[in-house]
Amino acid sequence: MEHIRTTKVEQVKLLDRFSTSNKSLTGTLYLTATHLLFIDSHQKETWILHHHIALVEKLALTTSGCPLVIQCKNFRIVHFIVPRERDCHDIYNSLLQLSKQAKYEDLYAFSYNPKQNDSERLRGWQLIDLAEEYKRMGVPNSNWQLSDANREYKICETYPRELYVPRIASKPIIVGSSKFRSKGRFPVLSYYHEHKEAAICRCSQPLSGFSARCLEDEHLLQAISKANPVNRYMYVMDTRPKLNAMANRAAGKGYENEDNYSNIRFQFVGIENIHVMRSSLQKLLEVNGTKGLSVSDFYSGLESSGWLRHIKAVMDAAIFLAKAITVESASVLVHCSDGWDRTSQVCSLGSLLLDSYYRTIKGFMVLIEKDWISFGHKFSERCGHLDGDPKEVSPVFTQFLECVWHLTEQFPQAFEFNEAFLLQIHEHIHSCQFGNFLGNCQKEREELKFWRNMYHQFDRTLHPRQSVFNIITNMNEQNKQLEKDIKDLESKIKQCKNKPTDGILTKELIHSVHPESPTLKTSLCFKEQTLLPVNHALRTIEGSNPADNRYSEYAEEFSKSEPGVVSLEYGVARMTC
């Protein structure tokens, strides 16, 4: 609270981001400890969580006031005009402080408390049990076992405590291998395909340099390929472009030499690094924010940003992996540099392709917990939760969600969840409202002990958005209810027929069973009705609202073509002759 000097500013203008005629809404801006709130004259509220703010800019003073531009991590961009420079400066400074927290304890998750008792909260955190998940995959079994090597986070700080390794890999081999791998991230099991008896394993790059080798590491890889009784050779996928991997050799790192390892097939798949991804997204956002964007600018911008090319590279890698397992029954070892960005993307997406369980809501949560959270994807740094190195920020997880979204588009029936679910997740990796994505790996999280203050993100009901998918999902739910209603009604009719003299009793019974049903209450003046309460709310026709912004899009074209003749203000063309 000590950062907030001004809590309320009136007569603030919110500019329409895409309007070339500077359309705006006037309202009041409030600054709270956790949110920035704008209420316009139509009482429409815009809430911006401080942690969602990626960038605050104060632009040069204009005649109408001081412009304040806020870019959010969930890709919202708002452009305010504050009448007095002093207020603008206060808000700017406050936001600057509030959006970048130096300590984990200052984050919203620590103060977010939706009135839950401790047991509910604990249940929320225990919803996902990874040991249970490995059991579901079919490990431990005769080839794979749980290793206690990392029990105290001694071998690898960024790995979880429970790790699954081939049964024949002894502890010295593991320790030896971990010393030969960047950040100690030795090869471990990520996913086991029970039917094909093939495994997806993950690790970081070997410290091979130009010629170094490590017998333990070679043994461990051999153990992995031996753990697959069907196919002796295994794939080693380096998800980096070949050039990057070679450059790493000069730094004493690098990639596996096929001559040193028996039975491996080495493969580069060429996913770019976090810096390329960050600037790619930046370019994409710049294109999308352009006023009066033309179709060809949009597509050339989309192309030069390379964003979709990167998405495709990740998808291609996952498909390669899934094919290796289903077609060749071969195990695959995936790594990149440190094995927490690209490796997480490819392993999780590959598992999603292979296993329909991960396409359910629960399964998807498990997948994120397993491949991202427990294996140490650096959520805090990648999402810029705390004030840190801006070069560590990168949309790696966003890309993963986007890949999944592409799959939901192509295979609409294969997924239990929808777009809204993915968006909700994306919202929360940046919001710091729930504890799941805080911290960079399991160990760090346990030291902080903040899990007691949390509410589990996935317990929340998801906001419905207008879409065909939602209408259908709701209808499906409704069908189940209707089936139940039919059963109820049938049994009641039976009762009525059996006890013709007990009319009053039956009626009371009906009323007591369904007190909320108006149709039953007024059964004498029966009215035929359709039962689509939820759907009606969903089917609001968004584009038909007169206040809709969309309308201004044509209007701008309007004023652009003949600026001298027609000008547009608040959506009404006026003659200016």
Partner 1 sequence: MEFAELIKTPRVDNVVLHRPFYPAVEGTLCLTGHHLILSSRQDNTEELWLLHSNIDAIDKRFVGPLGTIIIKCKDFRIIQLDIPGMEECLNIASSIETSEWRLSYVNKEFAVCPSYPPIVIVPKSIDDEALRKVATFRHGGRFPVLSYYHKKNGMVIMRSGQPLTGTNGRRCKEDEKLINATLRAGKRGYIIDTRSLNVAQQARAKGGGFEQEAHYPQWRRIHKSIERYHILQESLIKLVEACNDQTHNMDRWLSKLEASNWLTHIKEILTTACLAAQCIDREGASILIHGTEGTDSTLQVTSLAQIILEPRSRTIRGFEALIEREWLQAGHPFQQRCAQSAYCNSKQKWESPVFLLFLDCVWQILRQFPCSFEFNENFLIMLFEHAYASQFGTFLGNNESERCKLKLQQKTMSLWSWVNRPSELSKFTNPLFEANNLVIWPSVAPQSLQLWEGIFLRWNRSSKYLDEAYEEMVNIIEYNKELQAKVNILRRQLAELETEDEMQESP
Nearest CB to partner 1, comparing residues 118 and 546: 546
Nearest CB to partner 1, comparing residues 77 and 302: 302
Cα 289 to the center of its chain, rounded Å: 22
Query: Which region, judged by CB under 8 A, interacts with partner 1, from 162-170, 229-237, 252-260, 288-296?
Result: 288-296
Q: Classify residue 30 by burial, with Cβ atoms within 10 Å: 0-12, 13-18, 19+.
A: middle
Among 105, 194, 297, 508, binds partner 1 (CB under 8 A): 297
Query: Which region, judged by CB under 8 A, interacts with partner 1, from 47-55, 121-129, 300-308, 337-345?
Result: 300-308
Q: Which residues contact 116 (CB under 8 A, 6 or more apart)?
A: 124, 455
Query: Which region, judged by CB under 8 A, interacts with partner 1, from 334-342, 389-397, 450-458, 471-479?
Result: 471-479
Query: Which region, judged by CB under 8 A, interacts with partner 1, from 50-58, 135-143, 323-331, 498-506?
Result: 498-506
Copy the structure tokens of residue 557. 């074209």
Query: Which region, judged by CB under 8 A, interacts with partner 1, from 59-67, 230-238, 272-280, 517-525?
Result: 517-525
- CA dist 109 and 100 (Å) reads 14
Task: Compute the least distance from the CB of residue 55 to partner 1, in Å.
Answer: 21
Nearest CB to partner 1, comparing residues 111 and 479: 479
Task: Compute the least distance from the CB of residue 320 to partner 1, in Å.
Answer: 13
Other beta carbons within 10 Å of 333? 26
Among 114, 138, 252, 412, binds partner 1 (CB under 8 A): 412
Size of the site for partner 1 (CB under 8 A): 75
Closest alpha carbon to 311 in 345, 347, 275, 359: 345
DSSP state of 462: P
The stretches of 100-142 forming alpha helices (DSSP H) are: 108-111, 118-126, 130-137
Give the H/E segment covering residue 11. strand 8-15
Task: Compute the least distance from the CB of residue 421 to partner 1, in Å.
Answer: 17
- Residue 513 within binding range of partner 1, rule CB under 8 A: no
Collapsing DSSP states into helix, strand and coil, what is residue 48? strand
Determine whether 336 is an active site residue. Answer: yes
Collapsing DSSP states into helix, strand and coil, what is residue 436? helix
Closest alpha carbon to 16 in 571, 565, 542, 564: 571
Among 47, 210, 233, 411, binds partner 1 (CB under 8 A): 411
Copy the structure tokens of residue 157. 């700080």
- CA dist 75 and 429 (Å) reads 13
Task: Compute the least distance from the CB of residue 550 to partner 1, in Å.
Answer: 5
Among 57, 490, 508, 569, binds partner 1 (CB under 8 A): 490
- Residue 512 within binding range of partner 1, rule CB under 8 A: no
Closest alpha carbon to 290 in 556, 17, 91: 17
Nearest CB to partner 1, comparing residues 8 and 550: 550
Q: Classify residue 555 by burial, with Cβ atoms within 10 Å: 0-12, 13-18, 19+.
A: buried
Among 70, 220, 318, 510, binds partner 1 (CB under 8 A): 510
Task: Compute the least distance from the CB of residue 354 to partner 1, in Å.
Answer: 17
Nearest CB to partner 1, comparing residues 71 and 141: 71
Task: Compute the least distance from the CB of residue 517 to partner 1, in Å.
Answer: 9
- The secondary structure of 18-69, three-state, reads CCCCCCEEEEEEEECCCEEEEEECCCCEEEEEHHHEEEEEECCCECCEEEEE
Among 504, 512, 516, 564, binds partner 1 (CB under 8 A): 504
Among 117, 126, 461, 530, binds partner 1 (CB under 8 A): 530
Query: Which region, judged by CB under 8 A, interacts with partner 1, from 225-233, 333-341, 446-454, 475-483?
Result: 475-483
Residues 552-571 that bind partner 1 (CB under 8 A): 553-555, 557-558, 561-562, 565-566, 571
Task: Compute the least distance from the CB of residue 369 to partner 1, in Å.
Answer: 28
Place of tokens 């089917």: 539
Task: Compute the least distance from the CB of residue 559 to partner 1, in Å.
Answer: 10
Among 64, 103, 479, 533, binds partner 1 (CB under 8 A): 479
Among 468, 513, 518, 563, binds partner 1 (CB under 8 A): 468
- CA dist 354 and 349 (Å) reads 9
Among 172, 229, 503, 515, binds partner 1 (CB under 8 A): 503
Among 152, 327, 543, 564, binds partner 1 (CB under 8 A): 543
Radius of gyration of the chain (CA): 29
Residues 71-130 that bind partner 1 (CB under 8 A): none
- Residue 514 within binding range of partner 1, rule CB under 8 A: no
- CA dist 344 and 350 (Å) reads 10
Residues 4-33 that bind partner 1 (CB under 8 A): 18
Which amino acid, one-letter code, is at 188? V
Nearest CB to partner 1, comparing residues 387 and 557: 557
Collapsing DSSP states into helix, strand and coil, what is residue 416? coil
Closest alpha carbon to 132 in 334, 365, 350, 332: 365
Closest alpha carbon to 350 in 401, 316, 379: 316
The residues pairing with 38 across neighbouring beta strands, listed in sequence order, are: 29, 46
Among 135, 309, 452, 521, binds partner 1 (CB under 8 A): 309
Among 63, 327, 544, 564, binds partner 1 (CB under 8 A): 544
- Residue 283 within binding range of partner 1, rule CB under 8 A: no
Query: Which region, judged by CB under 8 A, interacts with partner 1, from 87-95, 155-163, 170-178, 466-474?
Result: 466-474
Helices and strands, counts by H and E, the chain: 21, 16
* CA dist 143 → 134, 177, 528 (Å): 14, 19, 63
DSSP strand pairing (35-40 vs 24-31): antiparallel
Catalytic residue among 88, 203, 336, 432: 336
**DSSP one-letter string for 254-286:** ----TTTSTTEEEEE-----HHHHHHHHHHHHH
- Give me the active site residues, please: 336
